[in-house]
Structures are given as structure tokens and as C-alpha cells.
A and B are shown apart, each in its own frame.
Chain A
Amino acid sequence: MTRQIIRGYIYFENSPEECKAIDTLMDAFGKYSSKWYIQLDDTSETHVSSLSPTAVCKLKEQCKTKDLSLNQMQFMLLFSRQGKLRLQKWYVPLSDKEKKKITRELVQTVLARKPKMCSFLEWRDLKIVYKRYASLYFCCAIEDQDNELITLEIIHRYVELLDKYFGSVCELDIIFNFEKAYFILDEFLLGGEVQETSKKNVLKAIEQADLLQEEAETPRSVLEEIGLT
């Protein structure tokens, strides 16, 4: 049997009977992942709302040998030690409700971990890669076949970019200049993929933008500024 997990979809390329049997098997089982689908043929796609550890155990074993790399980062979250969300970037479409639920669960899970533990954990059907910098946790969700270490360095490079831009960045910089944090992230990562890894190039792009705006802005009097708040 050949099958591949592709972004939460399992494609079966075996006989319809076998597919059906697996389908039934998966149907029969409880709670696991809301994101698994079984594709029986070109047209029909069955949602498997639930899988038990047995099925997962078995499937994982088989899926691990045949994988495809259509993986990507699912989202990135920055939160403080107190669990306050400081930045959120979602690379897959999810409802606001789901986002809040994921955030809540994940913040709890990560904060509960001890300092010396490894930076990776399995969570739902995703892999979480996280690292703590001072008071902030940076946390990325990637998929089963993604490279954990390079994701860890994505986080580090982003921290370096923030650090360079703000000049020794702290949590307050990100709170007060959240829009800048987003702009920098967009220059570095786009659609969950690395766009530009050169620190110089990313910062050049951001600084050019800042320059553009400084030319455009006319200085404002203090009174005018207060009047507008």
C-alpha cells in the first residue's frame, strides 16, 4: 500500500475495497484529529473526524515511510511568560474561534514545560517548535515531515531581525510597535515559507519603507497631535 500524508490529507492509492475498509476502520474510532481526510478516489473524500490511538499508531507507522514534503508552517505565535499573546500569524485559514482555542491550549501546554525539555513536541497532528527568549515564547506549528531544527533557526533569525531593527529588542517594543513586528515578519516569511534569509536584505526593505514614510510625513505640531488622540 502506498499512501502519503499531504497537509493533513491522506491519499490512498489502493483498491477501492481496501480504501473502504480503512475508511470504516477510521470511522469506527474515537477522537484524534479533525484534519484527516481519506480520499477514496478522485471525487469522493471522506472526512475522518475521529481516530483512535490504534489507528493512528498503525497509520503513522505506514505513513512515515512514504512522505511528501508539501508541508509548511501553519502558524506562529509569540506570547509572554504570563500567557499574553503578543503576535499571531496564521498561514492556514481557520475561524477566529478555532484560533482562540488553539492559542489557549498551546500557550498552556508550552508554559507548562520545564526549561531543560526539548524544543519540540507533538500536539494534535502537528509538531510544535518553540523557544524562549527572555520573557517571550516564540512558537511555530509545523507539519509531520517538516524540519524541526531549521524551524528553530527561523525563530532565531526572526529574533535577530527584531533585535537589529529595534536595537536590542524587548517585549515592550513588540507591544508598542506591533505593526512593525508584522511587517518584518512578512518580509522574512511569506505564506509560511522563508522568503528572504539574508538579514541585510530584510532590514534594507524595512528601512526603505521607513525612509519613504519620513519623506512623506510633514512634521506635526504637538497641539495638533493631542487634538487628534
Chain B
Amino acid sequence: MPAVSKGDGMRGLAVFISDIRNCKSKEAEIKRINKELANIRSKFKGDRALDGYSKKKYVCKLLFIFLLGHDIDFGHMEAVNLLSSNRYTEKQIGYLFISVLVNSNSELIRLINNAIKNDLASRNPTFMGLALHCIANVGSREMAEAFAGEIPRILVAGDTMDSVKQSAALCLLRLYRTSPDLVPMGDWTSRVVHLLNDQHLGVVTAATSLITTLAQKNPEEFKTSVSLAVSRLSRIVTSASTDLQDYTYYFVPAPWLSVKLLRLLQCYPPPDPAVRGRLTECLEAILNKAQEPPKSKKVQHSNAKNAVLFEAISLVIHHDSEPNLLVRACNQLGQFLQHRETNLRYLALESMCTLASSEFSHEAVKTHIETVINALKTERDVSVRQRAVDLLYAMCDRSNAQQIVAEMLSYLETADYSIREEIVLKVAILAEKYAVDYTWYVDTILNLIRIAGDYVSEEVWYRVIQIVINRDDVQGYAAKTVFEALQASACHENLVKVGGYILGEFGNLIAGDPRSSPLTQFHLLHSKFHLCSVPTRALLLSTYIKFVNLFPEVKGTIQDVLRSDSQLKNADVELQQRAVEYLRLSTVASTDILATVLEEMPPFPERESSILAKLKKKKGPSTVTDLEEAKRERSADVNGGPEPAPASTSAVSTPSPSADLLGLGAAPPVPAGPPPSSGGLLVDVFSDSPSAAAPLAPGSEDNFARFVCKNNGVLFENQLLQIGLKSEFRQNLGRMFIFYGNKTSTQFLNFTPTLICSDDLQANILGPTKPVDPAVDGGAQVQQAVNIECVSDFTEAPVLNIQFRYGGTFQNVSVKLPITLNKFFQPTEMASQDFFQRWKQLSNPQQEVQSIFKAKHPMDTEVTKAKIIGFGSALLEEVDPNPANFVGAGIIHTRTAQIGCLLRLEPNLQAQMYRLTLRTSRETVSQRLCELLSEQF
């Protein structure tokens, strides 16, 4: 244990800390701490009043224990008591404890504030300092309420000590940051500005921070600070290194203050000519100093000097009006690019990124391209290489795009995994932005996929397809290139996707060449088929049907493939469905119909080049609605006729990039996402799709709620059994198919599902047609249908009970079947006028039910719309005067009655709340619908 040399040696504390350090294990440490906590607790509770010293010591021990990472749930009161001690160190420990363990206990806050108030009024500068430090450390709203009025007075009072002024300035800054509304502007502001002239450089430093922050929000009020800051800066820059005594840091005069002043000036545009001349002189002086030989070899000297230099360069870039200074700054940074200090190279690369965006210095930055490329290749620190990538990206323009993209691509081959995705995106953006020749663009993206296929996100390959489809001049080249790329023995799945899509559209353009005849193209693609994931295979099936149209001569071959068991009987319903439909389409449809249905994709709406705009449009509301409609249409003709309507086929046959992007973007964040396509059900039943992976407790409400706005999906899953649902409802009738999947390899015996249901709802398992076999083989799936009729409105959902024997043990599972009142909704479209007329008619208080609730999911307009539609009501556009609100209308059908329903959902983004209002002609219906729907957001 070292001798405690300074201040108040709290011997007991030192002993305790030693003990903790000597603990051999975490357990021993916890034991020692618990012993100490018990000791302190008994001291605090004991009859004998503790003296200040003991209290201080124990509070300090508690603080130490807390800082070790343990919870402390007592001692706050004792710490607060210390605040009112007259002994400085006791007070100090009390304040430290409060600062570290902020407690929102209102009673304590009042006591703490009281103690602070006394200390602020004490006129004892050390006590005032402690109180101000505490406010600045805690910075809570309660403290702002109590002291935001008082502190400005302390700050500008003539008789306040310098050190107190410094604390007061930064204390006020902290309060302004946490609660700007509570800090009143007033006369004091002009006096604060004049602190920039203060004799005491410490006061100036603290005041500059405060003024900078205030000036950002209130530039007008602090405008006078500009000329004061410039003259202060000028005095510092021109001072000899010894003039400022202790404020000179390793021969650099007042570096912290200089940086802050330069920062303050960045809140404003370039000043008036007179002041501006002076400022330019300062900036030039700073740039000149960088060229002078160093006054010291110490790194602190160069760091401090360069800190000021970089801040000056930031100001030059901010003003962006002095070409001369910008070019000088750029040259200076260019020197740093080859400096031996890694830190300087890093910062030079970073700072040059912003210089690259100025028209005055862009060209000057570009001259350093070789150095930067070299940095990319030779820097040993990944964070420096990252900066080099950023700078290359920033300095890229039409003249050097090819070089930069080529360098980035070659770097990508060996790049760190952590930055690959970002480089891929940058390359994709640059290649698109600066492509003069689109063949270059296609080559670049295919190279990207080849080098870093795993890091190529969906939107990158969607984008290459969009561009190829929109530009006829590149289509033939693209087809040829992907065909060649696909020859590689191992190619990335993303390449198969791009290849499949492009050959399906434009394979005919290269079919003249015998080396890429239709049959060769087909065999090439099909050779990759078995290696690909389900979505890619689905895409390839669409390519095949497109081939049937493009090349009648391969029709037979393709039909054979579609007809094979591995397609027609594929376990994946999406693939199976496509195979069935495409086979049928190719057999039944005439050439004309085929040509119409399988026409080349129309050009995508032309987009601005930036990814931002691209995504903005892709995510636009229209696409969302279309997609939902397409999906709904598809679920309508689940087992429909042999000729699906062209509209739905095109949605199936060529997954539109925008639609897929949306689907991917919208689904993951929301557990109860948009209703899956009809195919989704069996996919879920057979695969471990992520949404269904979690084993759910029987009758889980969560899973039940997910079905309120959708009809298909997995209802239940455990180690043994999976239950999937598919249902349809029309008016007051419905039919539900229940799929029981045996996930084990062992047979289930005596498998008996039964349904328990209230009188308001009739649900009968269709015994005769589809009896469930009492034995379910391992890995098998059995199906059962249930007919449902809504007799009158109901709240209780039927319960499905399943009993079976598995390997000698008896299993019993009960789940609620998601048959809810809203399933019997029929959407009703109506105009704004009608809506409000009906809304008024339903003004009886029993008819309205309202609920206000917190959003449980991200508040996304499109998801909300999809949910309201999924709920069953019509979504009425342009009815509510506030476009942010949603209104819906529909009729609930029961055997005995039809109940009109109107709903209105008002989101409040700020509060993350919703208000939902339901008006129907029947109270119980309003109530139930409101309950059901409010659970969905």
C-alpha cells in the first residue's frame, strides 16, 4: 500500500481498497464488498450519531464500491447531509457522490438543490465552485429549473472571482445543452460576449465555449462576438511564446483558446472586410508557422501547433471563399500525407475530404491522388486506410473515376472485412455516377460481385438490372458479359441472379452466336440451379419461362425441366407453384398471349443518379400499394385457373427489383409485417424461416396477435410440432386449413385435434372429407379444414387442443385459433363527405371507443397502411384533413346482422403514440375491434 501523501488520508478507505486489491477471485471481492456494505449499513443505522469524518469515509467507500461496478442502494441521504457540512472535504466528498450517483428521487433532489442554493449564496468561492461543479456534472432538468436564472447573474457580476466565473460559464453551458428552453436570454448575453476581452485567459477560454454554443442557436444576439474573437485570436497568434506564461503549452501560445476561437468563428459567415483582413492575417500566420522549424522536438509541441492549424483549415473550408488560403491549406495537408506521424496522416486524409468538396480546392486535392492510392496500399492501420478510401471517394470526378474505381476494386480483394461493404457501396455509387460508358459500369459491377459477392447488397444488383433495362445500348454487351462470367466454374449467387435476369430479358441479343445459342444459355444457367437458394431458383424459373417466349426451340427442354418431379413436387411451395403455373402457361397459352405476358420489362422510371434519390423513389408510396395489391391478387388465385391474370404473372415471373427491395426492407423490422404471399405458408411450415423459429408457448398471445391482420402463417411451433394456417373469409363465412407438421422422425400416435368454440361462432372441423389420421408419420404433414360461421359478434377465439403420443409420452397442446371478429370485415370505399356524414351519425357515446397507446413498432406509414388493409377495412385516402391520419371503413358480417364500422388512427410521431377511434353501430363491436387493432402498432 503506498503512503497516502496528500490531503486527508482516510486510512480506513485505503485499507479497504487494499483488501479489495488483494482479493484473489471475483467471489472473494464480492464477499469483501458485501461485508463492507453490511458494516456501513449498520453504522448508518446505528444509534451513535456518526461524526462528519466517519460519514465522509463511508460515503467514499460506497462511491468506490459503485465505481467498481456494483450497485449501491443506500447512502444517498448521508451524502446529502455531507453537503451542508462546513468542512470543505466533507462537502467535497458529498458533492462527488451526488455527481456520480445521480438519483432522480424527488425528495433528495429538493434537499440537494437546497444545499447548492446555500453554497451559491455563501460568497465563499471554494464552496461556490463545488456547487457549480455539481450542477455542471449532474445537469438535470430539475437543476436547470432551479438554477438557470441564478447562474447568469453570478457569471456577469462584477465581484465574482475568476475561477467562479469559469465554473459558472461552463455550468450554464451544460444547462443550456440539456434544457435550452430554461435558460433565459437577456441583458447578461452582451456582458458575456465581453468576457472575450477579459484579462484572465482561463475566463476567456470558458466563456468562448459558452458563447460558441449560444451563438449557434442565436446567431444574431452574439454577432458582436466575431470581431472580439478575431482580435483576441490576433493577439494570441502574434504573441511571443513566453508572453502568455502558463497559458503557453510547449511553446504554443494558448492552443485550447485558439481552437475554441476558431471554432466560434465557424458559426458565422466570413466577417466584414475590415475584420476579415485581420482574420486572414491570422490564418496566414498560422499557416506560416506550420512551415517554421519546430521550437521543440516534443510531440506535444507539434500536436498543439497542428491542432490549431487543423482548426484554422476547418475555418478556411467553412468560409470557402479564399481560393488562396484553400490551396495553401491543401498543400499543407499534402505534406502531412507523407508525414511520419500516423496521427497526422490520418487527420490530413480526413481534412482533405472536406477540401475536396470545395470548387476552389477540388483540383488541388486531386493532385495528391497517387499518394492517397499509395496510402491505401501501404498503411498498416485499418482506420487510416479507411480514411484513404473516404478521400478517394470524395476526390472522385469524371476525370479520375476509372482510375479510382479500379484502385478501389483492387484494394477490395484484400480489404479488411470490416470495411468491405462500405467500399462495395462506394464503388457502386461512383461507377454509376461517373459512367460515361455503360459497358464500363456493367464490368465494374460484375467485378464487384466476383470479388466481394457476399458484400454486394440487394440494391446494388437491382440497380445494375435497372440500368441495363433502361439503356438499350448496353443490353447486348451486358448479356454477353454475364454469359461469359457465368462460364466460371464457381460463381457467386448474386452473379447467377444478375445473369438469370439479364439473359431472361436480353438473351436473344446474343443467341445468334453459336457459342451462346439458346440451348447453351439454358444449360449454363441450369447448371447453377441446384447450387442456389430458393429465391434465386425462383428467379431462374422465371428466366426459363421467359426463354420459352424468346426461344420457341427450347420450349420442349424447358417443359421437361418444369415437369420433373424435383420441380412439380418441390417441397418449397413457391417453386412448386411457379413450376406448375409456368408449365401450364407454356402449354395452354398461344404465342400471342405468351408474348404479351412475358414481354420484356418496361423501363424503370428514370431516377436521379444518387442513391438517396434512388431509394427515396423505390420506397415511394405508390410502389408499396402496388405490391400489396399484387400480393393480395396472388393469394386470391391460390389454386386458381390455369391462366393467371397477366398482371399477377408479371409480378410472379420477374421479381420487380423495386417490389423486392420493398418487401425486404419492410418485413424484417416489423414482426407482424405485411401479409406473406400465399406461398409463404408452406414455406413457413417446411423451413426454419426466421419469423417462425422461436418456439412459442401454447396459446401465446403474441403469435395470436400476429394473425389479426393476416390469414396465413405459422401459428405454433415447438420441438415436435408445427402448426401452420391458411384461411379465407367471405362475409360471415370462412374456411381455415390447419397444417400439422411432425418435426421429428418418429410417428405421432393417437393424434386428435379438437376445437372448443363459443356459441357466437360456429366452427366445425370437416370430419368426413379430411379426417386426420390418428398416426402422423415422422417428417410428415397433415392438413385439416375448418368451416367457420360468424353467428353474431364475438370476443372469445376458439381454442384448438391437440393431443398425441410421442415416443411413449403423452403430449397436450392448446392454442387459440386466430379467428377474430375483424376477419368478417368487408371493406367499403366511400368519399370524404359520406364518411363524415356517417361518422356524425355514429356519435352516440356507446358507439365510440377510443384508445390511446404507445407505438410498439417503428411508426412507418406504409406498414400502418398495410396493417389497416390487412385488418379488413378499406383504407380511405384523402378523407381525413390531416394527411398523417388514417381512416378506414367496412362492414362486419354476422349471420344475423351487418354492422357498419368506421375507424380513425392518428399517429403522433413526436410522442411515439397513437390514438385509435372506432365508431360502429354496436358497442361490443367497437370495443372488440378497438382492442384487436390497437395491439397491432
A, B: real partners = yes
A contact residues vs B (CB 8 Å cutoff): 6-7, 21-22, 24-25, 27-30, 40, 43-47, 49-50, 52-55, 57-58, 61, 64-65, 67-70, 72, 85, 88, 93, 100, 114, 116-122, 145, 147-150, 152-154, 156-157, 165-167, 172-173, 175-180, 182-183, 186, 190-201, 205, 208-210, 212-214, 216-217, 220, 225, 228-229
Compute how far the CA of A173 lies from the CA of B304 in the bound complex, rounded to whole angstroms. Answer: 28
User: Pick the contact of B255 from A57, A150, A213, A225 — CB < 8 Å?
Assistant: A150
Name the distance in Å between A186's Cβ and chain B's nearest Cβ: 5
**What residues on B are CB-neighbors of A198 within 8 Å?**
201-202, 245-247
Which partner residue on chain B sits nearest A58 by CB separation? B612
- Which A residues are CB-close (under 8 A) to B862? 24
Residue of A nearest to B863 (CB): A27
CB of A118 within 8 A of CB of B611, answer no
Q: List residues of chain A with CB within 8 A of the CB of B136.
A: 190-191
Cα of A57 to Cα of B599 in the assembled complex, Å: 37
Residues of B within 8 A of A45 (CB): 909-910
User: Inside 8 A of B384's CB, which chain A residues have their CB?
Assistant: 118
8 smallest CB-CB distances across A and B, nearest first, come from A149-B307, A191-B174, A21-B616, A150-B307, A229-B12, A213-B89, A198-B246, A118-B342
Interface: B266 (CB within 8 A):
yes
Residue of B201, B263, B346, B615 near A28 (CB, 8 A) is B615
Q: Specify which chain A residues have a CB less than 8 angstroms from the CB of B343 in the assembled complex.
A: 118-120, 148-149, 152
Contact B610 A58 (CB under 8 A): yes
Within 8 A of A (CB), among B350-370: 353-354, 357
Collect the chain B residues with CB atoms within 8 Å of residue A225's CB: 11-12
Query: Are B64 and A213 neighbours in the complex by a CB distance under 8 Å?
Result: no
Rounded to whole angstroms, the CA-CA distance of A64 and B861 in the bound complex is 30
A-B contact list, 6 entries, CB within 8 Å: A68-B266, A117-B381, A153-B256, A193-B173, A194-B256, A212-B88
With A153-B307, A157-B249: A228-B63 Cβ-Cβ less than 8 Å = no
Which applies to chain B's interface (DSSP): helix, strand, loop or mixed? Answer: helix
**What 1/0 mask marks residues of chain B from 241 to 272 whose CB sits below 8 Å from any chain A CB?**
00001110100001111011001101100000
Asked whether B616 lies within 8 Å of A208 as measured between CB atoms, the reply is no
Asked if A44 and B909 sit within 8 Å, CB to CB, the answer is yes
Given A118-B346, A191-B171 in contact, is the A65-B213 Cβ separation under 8 Å? no
Among B7, B14, B611, chain A packs the most CB atoms within 10 A around the CB of B7
A117 smallest CB distance to B (angstroms): 4
Cβ contact of A43, chosen from B87, B669, B910, cutoff 8 A = B910
Is the pair A178, B216 in contact by a Cβ cutoff of 8 Å?
no
User: A170 to chain B: closest CB distance in Å?
Assistant: 8
Q: A35 → chain B, closest Cβ, in Å? A: 14
B829 at the interface (CB under 8 A from A): no
B11 to chain A, nearest CB (A): 5
Asked whether any CB of chain A lies closer than 8 Å to the CB of B386, the reply is yes
Interface size class for chain B? Answer: 35 or more
Cα separation A201 to B616 with both chains bound (whole Å): 55
Report the separation of the CA atoms of residues A178 and B68 in the bound assembly, to the nearest whole angstrom.
11
Task: Please indicate the chain A residues that have their CB under 8 angstroms from the CB of B64 in the complex.
Answer: 178
Given A173-B2, A191-B136, residue A69 in contact with residue B167 (CB < 8 A): no
Give the shortest distance, in Å, between A32 (CB) and chain B (any CB). 11
Contacts beyond the supplied A149-B343, A197-B249, A228-B53: 13 A-B pairs with Cβ under 8 Å? A21-B616, A40-B909, A52-B457, A58-B611, A70-B212, A118-B345, A121-B383, A153-B304, A156-B300, A172-B2, A180-B6, A190-B166, A208-B126
Is the pair A194, B347 in contact by a Cβ cutoff of 8 Å?
A: no
CA distance A229 to B303 in the complex (A): 47
Which of B420-428, B519-527, B886-894 is the interface stretch?
B420-428
Q: Which chain A positions have C-beta within 8 A of B287? A: none
For B93, the chain A residues whose CB sits under 8 A away are 179
User: Is the Cβ of A177 less than 8 Å from the Cβ of B6?
Assistant: yes
Contacts of A182 in B (CB 8 A): 96, 100
A193 near B209 with CB under 8 A, answer yes
- CB neighbours of A70 from chain B (8 A): 177, 212-213, 216
In the assembled complex, the Cα of A47 lies from the Cα of B386 at a distance in Å of 28
In the complex, which residues of chain B have a beta carbon less than 8 angstroms from the beta carbon of A67? Answer: 266, 318
Give A225 to B9 CA distance when docked, in angstroms. Answer: 11
Distance in Å: Cβ of B482 to nearest Cβ of chain A: 24
Bound CA–CA A61/B390 (angstroms): 9
Residue of A52, A65, A120, A154 near B383 (CB, 8 A) is A120
Q: Per a CB cutoff under 8 Å, which of B67, B246, B254, B308 touches A88?
A: B67
Please tell me if the beta carbons of B174 and A147 are within 8 angstroms of each other in the complex.
no
| Highest count of chain A CB atoms <10 Å: which of B57, B136, B912 | B136
B126, B137, B255: the one within 8 Å of A186 (CB): B137
- Please determine whether B6 and A65 come into contact, CB atoms closer than 8 angstroms: no
